[in-house]
Amino acid sequence: MKHMAKLRLVAAMLIFGTIGLFVRYLNLPSGMIACVRGLVGTLVLLLIMALLRKRPSLAAIKKNLLRLLLSGAFIGFNWILLFEAYRYTTVSTATLCYYMAPIFVVLGAALLLREKLTARKLLCVLVALVGMVGVSGMAENGLPTLAEAQGILFGLGAALLYASVMLLNKGLREIDAYDKTVVQLAAAALVILPYTLAVEGGGAWLSLDLPTLLLLLLVGVVHTGLAYFLYFGAMGGLHAQTVAILSYIDPAVAVLLSMLVLHEGMTPLGLGGAVLVLLAALVSELPAKTAKKSR
């Protein structure tokens, strides 16, 4: 059982790790991609739940509705910022900025939820900040270009929104993971739709060709519906630290694809910074006893 759960989680992380590559080849507004991703992902998850005969708990959804809707809106705009980051900087840099989210959760939990900021967590924050200096290229080249700086800020903004989602999820009570995700994905699509029509215009929706449509649907079906199903299907059979460790397959795959497929190089200092960011984020998520053993 644990072996199958690990395989599911690894498969989900491999899929998540490739999304930057697919978004790069989609010449569409970020809001449109995010909207379709939320809508198609919702339909796929509902179909899977129907096949598994899992009925959504309306009582649990109603009880947590406000948090679900708010976190869903954050998820939608988090996707938009992440997809914009892919356009302005490399996939690897955008991904590493996004993986500052666990560090933002540490700070947010200390400020908003009054959780204790331990010496270990504070050290993780400092190490991640040092790593981001390496990833940004400032240590070697000085200030980044305007486009690169925009990409970094979009990536960090996406991380901040995702950290907000994680903090909101801490307050959810007695709700199944699939129910939670379906409502959040649906909320993301519904919130983004008027935004993308008002800000990005409706022209892109009317001018879709078949290859672009298939690629867009692939992001919704595989990178959202299927990936979320595999991810949450694995959660119940694994320890939290196993999930935390295996989750870092996602950024590792993204960085490798960025270098090998998109030919987006990283300097030695950039690679060193990447290691520091991911290590700090990982250690911040592990329970205290596990972190001590790893040292």
For the beta carbon of residue 110, count every other beta carbon within 10 angstroms: 16
What is the band of 289 on the pLDDT scale with cuts at 50, 70, 90? low
pLDDT tens-digit profile of 26-81?
989 999 999 999 999 999 999 999 999 989 899 999 999 999 999 999 999 999 99
CA-closest candidate to residue 250, choices 98, 54, 119, 89 = 98
User: How many structural domains compose the chain?
Assistant: 1
Least confident interval from 10-24, 42-56, 76-90, 194-208:
194-208
Q: Are 88 and 30 in contact (CB under 8 A)?
A: no
pLDDT tens-digit profile of 144-165?
788 889 999 999 999 999 999 9
First-last CA distance in the chain: 29
DSSP code of residue 226? I
Longest dimension (CA), the chain: 57
The proportion of the chain whose per-residue pLDDT surpasses 70, expressed as a percent, equals 94
Rg over alpha carbons for the chain, rounded to the nearest Å, is: 19
Q: Which domain holds residue 74?
A: 2-294
How far lies 100's CA from each of 96, 104, 125, in Å?
7, 6, 9
**SS3 of 262, please?**
coil
How far apart are the C-alpha atoms of 168 and 166, rounded to whole Å? 5
How far lies 57's CA from each of 176, 179, 180, 183, in Å?
8, 7, 10, 11
How far apart are the C-alpha atoms of 274 and 268, rounded to whole Å? 10
What is the band of 280 on the pLDDT scale with cuts at 50, 70, 90? confident
pTM of this structure? 0.88
How far apart are the C-alpha atoms of 61 and 260, rounded to whole Å? 43
For the beta carbon of residue 265, count every other beta carbon within 10 angstroms: 11
φ, ψ of residue 90 to 5 degrees: the values are -70, 160
